[in-house]
Amino acid sequence: MSSAPTLWISGHLAEKVRAHGKETYPHECCGALLGRDADAAARTDSEKDAIAPEREILSLFPLVNRRDDSPRNRFSVTSEDVLAAERAAREQGLEVVGWYHSHPDHPARPSQYDRDHAWPWYSYIIVSVQSGAPQEMTSWRLNDDRQEFFPEGIEIRQRAAV
Amino acid sequence: MPVKVMIPTPLRPYAGKRDSAEFNAHTVGEALGHLTTQFADLRRHLFTEDGKLRSFVNVYVNDEDIRYLAKENTPTKDGDTISIIPSIAGGCR
């Protein structure tokens, strides 16, 4: 987990994340990233041998931001929503590999608050939405000692994994 | 039969890639104590530095959230399943 990882996502899904951020502006949007991870136990031996991305997003599970009190600068996904996202992933033969949210009128950089509330392993996609227009999109992972997020490359692919 | 602790995906790398572990325990706190003794790297992701469960870590005994029971003192009996369910939060400032 220490080497710089890369997250694969189709252009279509990347556009859906941006569109969600635009739709909920000036509030933060949020949702689950469903896909496959090379380390996941669900992979068969033959899949492990194939050339495959380390982690690929194959579907999205958009969620409602539960932070009614402060939706412009906070988002919250309840444990019930997490379980719903995991169920949706299982039904598609996938797993929840991360989460996305928007930063309205703020850069696509994780805040201290983001870090304090992050889980390891998950990919955290952030899309900056400036004056209602989606801009930069970045992805981050928490390091093992919780002290910092490290950036994860985003590789836009035009087709899904085999 | 002991209690079973279900480990969520993001914490499995710190638990030998296991999705569950079984312990003899009489309370939730005791089971989580055994879990973080066996897998010490899990501790910082579940507990704050002063030993409290992190706010975004939700723990259920079977289908009951321990916040509505006796929290970490919630008793467990043989065959119970303890689930650690993430909640997710963040924000730009």
Mark yes or no for CB contact A119/B93 under 8 Å: no
The three-class DSSP label of residue B31 is: helix
How high is the pLDDT of residue A1? 45
- Give percent above pLDDT 70 in chain B: 99
Name every chain A residue with its beta carbon within 8 A of the beta carbon of B85: 79, 82-83
The contact set of A with B (CB < 8 A) is 1, 28, 30, 39, 41, 67, 70, 73-79, 82-83, 95-96, 99, 101, 103-106, 110-111, 113-114, 117-122, 124, 144-146
Per the rule left: phi > 0, alpha: psi between -120 and 50, beta: everything else, B57 is beta
**B93 falls within a domain:** no
Whether B39 has a pLDDT exceeding 60, the answer reads: yes
CATH number of the CATH domain containing B58: 3.10.20.30
| DSSP β-bridge partners for residue A15 | none
Confidence of residue B2 (pLDDT cuts 50, 70, 90): very high
B31 part of a folded domain: yes
B19 and A77 within 8 Å at the Cβ level: the answer is no
Q: What would the mean pLDDT of B3-8 be, rounded to a whole number?
A: 97
- The pLDDT assigned to A41 comes to 45
Contact A149, A142 (CB under 8 A): yes
Return d(Cα A153, Cα A38) in angstroms, integer: 16
Q: Which of B17, B85, B89 sits opposite A76 (nearest CB)?
A: B89
Task: Decide if B51 is inside a domain.
Answer: yes
ipTM above 0.95, yes or no: no
Output DSSP code: residue A26.
Answer: T
Q: Which residues of B69-87 are buried (b: 16+ CB within 10 A; e: fewer)?
A: eeebebebeeebebbbbbb
User: Is residue A1 included in any domain, yes or no?
Assistant: no
Is residue A162 in a domain?
A: no
Residue in A1, A96, A145 nearest the CB of B9: A96
Q: Decide if pLDDT at B33 tops 70.
A: yes
Q: Residue A16's pLDDT is what?
A: 97
* From A21-30, A38-47, B36-45, B75-84, the region with the lowest mean pLDDT: A38-47
Cα(A122)–Cα(B2) distance, integer angstroms: 30
Q: Kindly state whether residue B56 falls inside one of the protein's structural domains.
A: yes
Q: Provide the domain count of chain A.
A: 1
First CA to last CA across chain A, in angstroms? Answer: 24
Yes or no, beta carbons of A119 and B13 under 8 Å apart: no
> How many independent structural domains does chain B possess?
1
Residue partners of B75: CB distance under 8 A and separation at least 6 = B26, B27
CATH number, domain containing residue A114: 3.40.140.10
Which DSSP state fits A4? -
pLDDT score at A2: 46
Domain-located, residue A105: yes
pLDDT per residue as tens, chain A (162 positions): 445 689 999 999 999 999 999 999 999 999 999 999 987 544 455 554 555 678 999 999 999 999 989 999 999 999 999 999 999 999 999 999 999 999 999 999 999 999 999 999 999 999 999 999 999 999 999 999 999 999 999 999 876 544
What residues make up the domain containing A30? 6-157
Residue A109 DSSP class: S
Helix H, strand E, coil C: the string for B32-91 is HHHHHHHCHHHHHHHECCCCCECCCEEEEECCEEHHHCCHHHCECCCCCEEEEEECEEEC
Count of H-run helices and E-run strands, chain A: 4, 8
Chain B nearest-CA residue for A113:
B90
Range(s) of the domain holding residue B29: 3-86
